[in-house]
Structure 1
Amino acid sequence: MRLSTVILPIYPWTEGRKVWEGAEELGFHAAYTYDHLSWRTFRDGPWFGAVPTLTAAAVVTSRIRLGTMVTSPNFRHPVTLAKELMTLDDVSGGRVTLGIGSGGTGFDAVVLGQEPWSPRERADRFAEFVELLDRLLTQGDITFGGSHYSAFEARNIPGCVQTPRLPFAVAATGPRGMRLAAKYGQEWVTTGDPDLYETGTPEQSLAAIRGQIERLGSALEDAAREPAGVPKVLLTGFTPDRATPFSSLDAFVDFAGRHAEAGIDEIVLHWPIPDSDFGYDHAVFEQIAIEAPGQLG
């Protein structure tokens, strides 16, 4: 079981540097950040850009993997994003993972002045976005004409440090998203079943995640890929028992162990933020980071 953290981009770099360095010192496998322009209750407070934050983090760290959790088509275009990712992969020495999903329906979905996309259009855009991004990051010169995204002689030279490109961690739960994850993903990401967030039970949530993993396995087999070769990542904070695992080391080990049995390979913990949904006790958080991996194996 791998443990990682996600650090919201709310810190001026004079503070943020210490947080990202601290994540590496605690031994986390990876440190991710949200790729939003603002988010929920943090909308009226400080919120910095994901790619510049990760670039700065790459300069002050040397071991920990870095990435987005997750990027979406809401306000990005594959051509410009690919250039930024190639550069970030170079600066980090090949330590970048791109978490990528179809995007939500909140502020980011309309910030550029567009009308909200229908579920069908969102899925169509996501599929085209991932396909083009994959091609941009693996080929040096791309011309592409899609229904939603185009590229004309787009050059991405010299390409990624990681070959054939930096890994994609695809966030998906529906059939089309699962097929995208099976075709393009090196990892798969879930937050659980959103329908269970308010009224579900931990047992229902675990069963739902187990079902998602089974469906992903079927999609991977259909794509002639070995399911065990694609790590399954759980971003915590969105299941019915979201606060319980952070009440103590024992509670977290129990939570992580049950999800490991269901098929989860990596658990991502939010870096504590006082007076928020992620207002965990920092001492417990550090104890989990240091001691839980040894108990989980």
Structure 2
Amino acid sequence: MNVLPQHVDLSIKPEVTAFFDAPTNTISYVVKDPASPACAIIDSVMDLDYAAGRITHGSAEAIIAHIKAHGLRLEWLIETHVHADHLSAAPYIQQQLGGQIGIGEQITTVQEVFGKVFNEGTEFRRDGSQFDRLLKDGDTYSIGGMTAFAMHTPGHTPACMTHIVGNAAFVGDTLFMPDGGSARADFPGGDARTLFRSIQRVLQLPPETRLFMCHDYGPNGRDIQWETTVAEEARHNIHVKDGITEDAFVAMREARDATLGMPRLIIPSLQVNMRGGTLPPADASGKVFLKVPVNAL
């Protein structure tokens, strides 16, 4: 089954530059239109020294330097979902280079859930207005002459989207490299069965479609990798390769998730990322604080 609208041109090959953030095992991307200076950033990282409570922007500056050095024009800053393992640098980069910040429309569900977890009160907006555009399943947007297609792929979180740009698809945490399997589905709003069905949508893309991961952890000591194809995932992914049933996946995923600890940066990440990458408002003295809810996650 073809899940792409006719106006998405898989013959276009966007130029993709990856930036690996070792502390969070996150890969950010600059996606350039091959026919113009237009580009987008997928899943940027803001640096946090958690113990010191100190924010810096070295990872974002590397991306900014790349865009400036190549004379690119930033049009979009895309978040594939509300990350629980790193903080977004989208607003910081936007201040330097412009562009619109986009995320899936189900961000409002995430904001509702975690607004309560962090006791944010009525002043915290739960309508997604911290972002410039909320993308629905099937929505398109332009990066220069390229048409990008947003496909809703929930399961890891309700707001997860896969972004298809030419012959490249950016899957967020929906999939890992074939030897890494799939992402956990036990966060609030996550669901293993939903995740399996979302992965099947991705695997229905043309076999030659390039897939770009948001994370890689170098299983079994191999070098970090972030690019594969639909065909390789269908043949070799240890969790969802051809022949693995939905029920078998759900049983595996739920058993595995029950053994996992929480990501190291989940507390600050959720508070910042549900706000579109901005910090909570300062108190009367000008100080900014992040909350630590006890026994709430």
- Between Structure 1 and Structure 2, which shows a larger proportion of helix residues? 1
Asked whether the two chains share a fold, i.e. TM above 0.5, the reply is no
Structure 2 length-normalised TM: 0.33
- Between Structure 1 and Structure 2, which shows a larger proportion of strand residues? 2
Structure 1 length-normalised TM: 0.33
